[in-house]
Structure 1
């Protein structure tokens, strides 16, 4: 999150100090294929079931992201888009379920987002534009899967989140463009139920950030 705040703050300053720098695009429909590297800080897992409530930290690291978006741009510089994103980071079970030892797994999600994005000319280039956006995300599934001693365990749930977007687009030609960006998603205290219904539930924040690249085509 701290890494994400820096470019966002710089962008807001640029917008406030240069109101005439809005990028006037031609508008119209576009679609993008999105890929990236996701990461998340360690999360506290609150476990209830099988006795007294327990809390422990799960160590999380990096993983991958993939998805696609369909959007429409207005000549004013605003865009609206819908997207589907899957992302996952590697995780270590914090050992909440005795007598099982710590196990390895992943913390992942699928979600649909509706984003509002603002394009502006930060670099004074006819080919490159920067953007800042925000979106509402329906996390259709958040799951925490892990394995220890050959036994697989899975917890899953759904929630609503918000996300912030920052990046730049480079036009490759009349129709194609490339996109590089940062994004941060936040959902607080997501309830994850045991998928076999006998191992209680886990509550944890879900807040990955990701660096992405995308290839797009304008209709």
Structure 2
């Protein structure tokens, strides 16, 4: 029992530790077949005596003198074989749940300790015996288990499988001696198991498995001649090789997105500021636009800035030329004050030569009193 506890604790601990890993195990429905060898630990047997009928023991004195008490023995097993069929479903994050149907068969030898306590009034069938007797036969089992399994990835194609299961075990025991049957009965008991194994991916839908199972069956009992055979827990160890087939091929992972092409260099940007009549000072509104221009220039990095001043048609051409140059110089000084290099900024004036709004001479048009700021890489 101590070894069993250590095994279960180990399985549980590894399951928790591995919960954060990912796996490429199959998802969806699958089926599997396995075959291998089965060992059963030797177990103790209690022969619980039942009373004979009046036909078997005619006198009351004979009944009272018959074997007074129960006897014991041991049941030993040869190496046998086992087969399993499974159907299950694989979930994301490496978990699987499956229904497992199993078959195990082992030859068995029962050794019974006895003592002679009978008298002449007892029939031969009712007398006890001294020494030991052996009975030969076999134990056959059919299991139905629900398993929960976690797949731990070891390599791209190799997984470690750990899990636990619970269900029922239908046990048949057939024992006889010298052609005389001691028992040929069955019992159904609760069973639980721990599972550990390796799975290797042969193809996208077919796996090869190597699996160990520890199965514990709770104290089966069997009716026998004039007695009941009560067994301790049966502890079984099974090693199998099998194939597991994925009924639905997993969807191929989406190919990685191609790298995004580099963004094209930003095209020229133009900002426009406006001035009061016959003025070249920067208004609060114009300062806000120059803030945007300075921020854009810093974001783009290395840029060349071209500032051109303009006027309306009021005044002479010479005066308007000087006024347009004053406006471009004012815009440059503002941008330099905002952290841009003076060497990256060129200025010029066009006077009234490039009107935004065509007008006659001597017309005060606010949209013509402007400066343009062009950013070029």
| Counterpart Cα distance in 1 of 2:11 and 2:146 | 24
Larger % of strand: which?
A: 1
Q: Distance in 2 between matches of 1:85 and 1:37?
A: 12
Q: Runs of 5+ in structure 2 lacking a partner?
A: 51-66, 115-127, 248-377
Higher helix share: 2
> Greater relative contact order: 1 or 2 (C-alpha under 8 angstroms, separation 6 or more)?
1
Task: Give the whole-Å Cα distance in 1 for the aligned partners of 2:150 and 2:234.
Answer: 26
Aligned residues between the structures: 212
Deviation at 1:48, TM superposition (A): 1.2
Instruction: Find the partner of 2:234 among 202, 206, 214.
Output: 206
Counterparts of 2:159 and 2:9, CA distance in 1 = 15
Question: Does the 8 Å CA contact 1:4/1:183 hold for their aligned counterparts?
Answer: no
- Tell me the residue number matched to 1:35: 35
List aligned pairs for 1:122-161, cutoff 5 A: 123=154, 125-139=155-169, 141-152=170-181, 153-161=183-191
SS at match of 1:208: strand
1:152-171 to 2 correspondence within 5 Å? 152=181, 153-171=183-201
- TM-superposed CA distance for 1:44, in Å, is 0.0
Q: How does 1:23-62 map to 2 (within 5 A)?
A: 23-50=23-50, 51=67, 52-62=69-79
Alignment RMSD: 2.6
8 A contact 1:159–1:190 mirrored in 2: yes
TM-score (norm 2): 0.51
Q: Is the 8 A contact 1:37 1:63 kept in 2?
A: yes
Q: Kindly state the Cα deviation for residue 145 of structure 1 after the two structures are TM-superposed.
A: 1.2
Q: CA 1:19–1:157 in structure 2 vs 1: closer, same or farther (change >3 Å)? A: closer
Matches within 5 A, 1:59-70: 59-70=76-87
1:79 aligned onto 2:96: yes
Contact 1:47 1:96 in 2 (8 A): no
- The normalised TM-score by structure 1 is 0.85
The whole-number CA distance in structure 2 between the counterparts of 1:134 and 1:211 is: 16
- Do the aligned residues in 1 keep the contact of 2:11 with 2:163 (CA within 8 Å)? no
1:176 and 1:69, CA in 2 relative to 1: closer, same or farther beyond 3 A? same
More divergent stretch after superposition (63-72 vs 183-192): 183-192
Q: Equivalents in 2 of 1:119, 1:160: separation in Å? A: 26
SS of the residue 1:189 aligns to: coil
Equivalences for 1:92-131 in 2 at 5 Å?
92-95=109-112, 101-121=133-153, 123=154, 125-131=155-161
| Contact persistence 1:155–1:201 (CA under 8 A) | no
Other structure's SS at 1:9 match: helix
